Amino acid sequence: MRVLGIILGSLIVVIAFNLFLIPHEVLSSGLSGISMIVGMITPIDTGVANFLLNFPLLVIGYKKLGKKFILYSIFSVMIISIGLYVVPVHAIAGDKILSSIFGGALTGLGVGFVFRCSGSTGGLDIIGMILSRKRDFPIGTLLSAMNAVVIVISGFLFDWDSALYTLISIFVTGKVVDGIYTDHVKLTLMIITDKGEEMRKHLLTNLYRGLTIMDGVGGYSNDKRQVLISVISRYELNDVKNLISEIDQNAFVNITETIEVMGLFHRPSHQ
């Protein structure tokens, strides 16, 4: 299902680019926008530029982030790059404002689908995740800064009307992504199991979060249990549930939405 979701999301991004944004010289955000610029002002195809710009980041991300996440991201980037190369650039709508809004919404929809399937469309998402894991760097500031660069470049290369249309598209994309991909929502897990040590090693190996472990006793059975507590983001929930089931399918897991997290959210590097 995740592979199908990544394919669907990536193809939606391709449609948004080649049928709504690129024909009207409206750019997307981040490296996708820079790829569009390269495709518009050089003989290099947008899909080829997208792959070449993302490739170094994917290599770095493979070493810094989870293997599964990067493999899904590589898959998405390849589909988008091939799609941009194969699908002809053709304007569906003649109105530039409508194309900017609808193209931005479609881009956000596609990116959101890929995020929900534990992948990314490459580019700034990988940079942001690497920085956020190394230190508490505000990802939103980084993304906004890069988007501002795309808008300024758009204004100088084309015209400032196109830059403002690009701003509209980026704004709509961000709103749609936030509506679909709820990474900012945090969840607290309380896992009660009699395989505490195995569970601890498995989660710490595959999950970039810390754990707090307490001893417990079953109220009815009087058997000893371990209670593992961790805070994760919502998009990690499916992966974590699978990890728990791999060790103990009978584990009792309580999942609650967390209002606020203070202190380090990621796992300390010395662990």
Residue 140 confidence class, pLDDT cut points 50, 70, 90: very low
Q: Pick the range with the lowest mean pLDDT from 121-125, 161-165, 220-224.
A: 121-125
- Gap between the Cα atoms of 137 and 117, Å rounded: 24
Residue 228 confidence class, pLDDT cut points 50, 70, 90: very high
> What is the percent of the chain where pLDDT is above 90?
24
Residue 149 confidence class, pLDDT cut points 50, 70, 90: confident
Token pair in block for residue 8:
């669907």
Strand duo 212-217 + 186-193: pairing:
unpaired
Residue 47 confidence class, pLDDT cut points 50, 70, 90: confident
Domain ranges of the chain: 2-180, 186-258
Q: What value does the mean pLDDT of the chain take? A: 81
Say if residues 175 and 108 touch (Cβ distance below 8 Å): yes
Mean pLDDT of 148-152: 74
Residue 195 three-state SS: coil
Residue 263 confidence class, pLDDT cut points 50, 70, 90: low
Tell me the CATH class for 186-258: alpha beta
pTM of the model: 0.66
Q: Pick the range with the lowest mean pLDDT from 24-28, 41-45, 144-148, 249-253.
A: 144-148
Say if residues 6 and 114 touch (Cβ distance below 8 Å): yes
Residue 235 has a pLDDT of 64
**What is the torsional sign of CA 155, 161, 165, 167?**
positive
